[in-house]
Structure 1
Amino acid sequence: MTATRTFAIVTGAGQGIGKAIALRLARDGFDICVNDLEINSGTVKNVVEEIQALGQKAVSAYGDVSKLPQVEAIVESSVNQLGPLDVMVANAGIAHVQWAMDAKEPDLQRLFEVNFYGVVYSDQVAARQFIKQGSGGKIINAASVVSFRPFAMIPIYSATKAAVRSLTQSLATELAKHKITVNAYAPGVVDSSMWETIDRGMSEINGLPKGENFQKTKSEITLGRTSVPEDVAKMVSFLASSDSDYVTGQTMLVDGGIAFS
């Protein structure tokens, strides 16, 4: 990194993949705004302290990314504290296990509000900040392997992530003239709290013991193992760095080969 301080916002960074991304970008030299819901303030505080221990500045910004005014407040408060924004990582997301035929309006609404609207709002507000600054920037969205290959029992979740992949391509075209790149990362099966939720939901449907659905996926992964959040963080590190300056509109798989197995 150059001597100029660089600053990234990571949404949903209190745990799991978001936490790993925040810590990796801090090691790369970024100051970090750690966003999550206020109910997760305990874990957010820990992440902020870990980043500060690495010698980088870190602030917390609580808010629900599915609410545009709250996203605007997150960006405004963090820019006021950390300076010009360089990278927005729209990582926050939720999962819900059910068959498509069983999905009710509240299920559909909340999944799309967080996983898609939350990305749209994060991208919009970050892009406006980049344009205001006049220095370009990088937007990095959370897609998933299911944006390429939908998984059984999480069809609506899969659809939200396919929407993120499409949005990423569209915004890359729209924002290129402002020197803003837009890319996404697509994790596979990650040992995280989200996959614990998915595994538990699948077990309720197919009757397999808890943990069995997670372990069963190993046979479908070309590299023979499930991933950890740090595997995903490495890809985000690349997308946030100058090494990716000529990369835009891409959704980068970090799935160990499950998409083509």
Structure 2
Amino acid sequence: MSDIKVAMVTGAAQGIGRGIALKLAADGFDIAVADMAFQEEKGRGVVAEIEALGRKAIFVSADVSKREEVAAAVDKAAAELGSFDVMVNNAGIVGQVAPIAEITEESMQKVFAVNVNSVLWGIQAAAAKFIELGKKGRIISAASIAAIKGFPILAPYTASKFAVRGITQVASQELAVHGITVNAYAPGIVGTSLWEDLDKKLAAITGKPVGQNLKENVDSISLGRIETPEDVAGVVSFFASPNAEYVTGQVLLVDGGMLYN
């Protein structure tokens, strides 16, 4: 049983989270697919895909903005899958797309609850479980190119991702004594439903046809194509692997050549 490796991925019912869950399963991890209760049907579909790869998987319902639900999800993953080795704080939202003068208090609170608080709760719960089990675990969180550069009309999202970058640096220093590494991945323009929704919101503000804002952003990518969830998953796979044993406190851009840090 000692060779069991378990990872939990939040927001794993679709998009980038699904891609990460499948990649880690291919790497030999059993997976806790964590997502909101209303995503359970999609989540169980991902569980079936993982099982088809020959790994164990469970669906765990959790609202990651709530500390107690994240802790309970980690406990369930460890108890039902027999270990706990990697935590991927992937869940996130874009939130309000508007000029800074129009940003509401409600929007800031909602975006930070999902994008920032959930990362902190995930770090706390995972670190406690790693220490309990005597594991030198890996914590890997979703940042963004917006963690490196501020983007107009995306103030709540940008602020939240800068916060993830800061929390990653703090946690990596505090948890290093336990052999726990803490890193983050920073995607660019990923071809998922999240960006499709963002493109529609941008169109309403810029007056450009739906699809034009997305095309212009993709045209700015040096490698000349839109990013896939598998591109992101490759970086997460690295952070979860023995190759990243000496890497901590880092935010790694995976954007095809948009920003250079």
Shorter-chain TM range is over 0.9
Tell me the CA shift for residue 203 of structure 1: 0.8
Task: Report SS of the residue matched to 2:259.
Answer: helix
Tell me the CA shift for residue 196 of structure 1: 1.0
Query: Which residue is 1:108 aligned to?
Result: 108
> What amino acid does structure 1 have at the position aligned with 2:132?
K
Q: Distance in 1 between matches of 2:217 and 2:108?
A: 26
Query: Which residue is 1:56 aligned to?
Result: 55
Q: Distance in 1 between matches of 2:107 and 2:121?
A: 20
List gaps (5 residues or longer) in structure 2.
none
Q: Distance in 2 between matches of 1:38 and 1:209?
A: 34
Tell me the CA shift for residue 260 of structure 1: 3.4
> What amino acid does structure 2 have at the position aligned with 1:98?
A
Whether the 8 Å contact between 1:140 and 1:182 is mirrored in structure 2 is yes
Whether the 8 Å contact between 2:20 and 2:233 is mirrored in structure 1 is yes
Whether the 8 Å contact between 2:144 and 2:187 is mirrored in structure 1 is yes
Matches within 5 A, 1:199-238: 199-238=199-238
> What amino acid does structure 2 have at the position aligned with 1:83?
G
Query: Which residue is 1:185 aligned to?
Result: 185
Q: Bigger shift: 17-26 or 151-160?
A: 151-160
Aligned length: 260
Q: Distance in 2 between matches of 1:3 and 1:67?
A: 31
List gaps (5 residues or longer) in structure 1.
none
Tell me the CA shift for residue 143 of structure 1: 0.2
Tell me the CA shift for residue 133 of structure 1: 1.0
Q: Distance in 2 between matches of 1:12 and 1:110?
A: 16
Query: Which residue is 1:23 aligned to?
Result: 22
> What amino acid does structure 2 have at the position aligned with 1:15?
Q
Q: Distance in 1 between matches of 2:159 and 2:180?
A: 26
Matches within 5 A, 1:54-133: 54-96=53-95, 97-133=97-133
Query: Which residue is 1:11 aligned to?
Result: 10
Query: Which residue is 1:252 aligned to?
Result: 252
Q: Distance in 2 between matches of 1:72 and 1:135?
A: 17
Q: Distance in 2 between matches of 1:13 and 1:251?
A: 20
Q: Distance in 2 between matches of 1:147 and 1:184?
A: 10
Whether the 8 Å contact between 1:95 and 1:197 is mirrored in structure 2 is no
Q: Distance in 2 between matches of 1:260 and 1:208?
A: 28
Q: Distance in 2 between matches of 1:151 and 1:195?
A: 14
Query: Which residue is 2:137 aligned to?
Result: 137
Whether the 8 Å contact between 1:11 and 1:36 is mirrored in structure 2 is yes
Q: Distance in 2 between matches of 1:170 and 1:3?
A: 31
Tell me the CA shift for residue 218 of structure 1: 2.2
Q: Distance in 2 between matches of 1:199 and 1:25?
A: 29
Runs ≥4 in structure 1, deviation > 4 angstroms?
none
Q: Distance in 2 between matches of 1:199 and 1:52?
A: 34
> What amino acid does structure 2 have at the position aligned with 1:234?
G
Q: Deviations over 1:28-65 (max 9, x none)?
A: 00000000001111110100000001000000100110
> What amino acid does structure 2 have at the position aligned with 1:208?
K
Query: Which residue is 2:45 aligned to?
Result: 46
Tell me the CA shift for residue 3 of structure 1: 7.6
> TM-score by structure 1 length?
0.97
Task: Report SS of the residue matched to 1:4.
Answer: coil
Whether the 8 Å contact between 2:137 and 2:180 is mirrored in structure 1 is yes
Q: Distance in 2 between matches of 1:231 and 1:213?
A: 22
Task: Report SS of the residue matched to 1:106.
Answer: helix
- Percent identity over paired residues: 47
Q: Bigger shift: 142-151 or 215-224?
A: 215-224
Query: Which residue is 1:34 aligned to?
Result: 33
Q: Deviations over 1:181-214 (max 9, x none)?
A: 0000000000011111211111111111111111
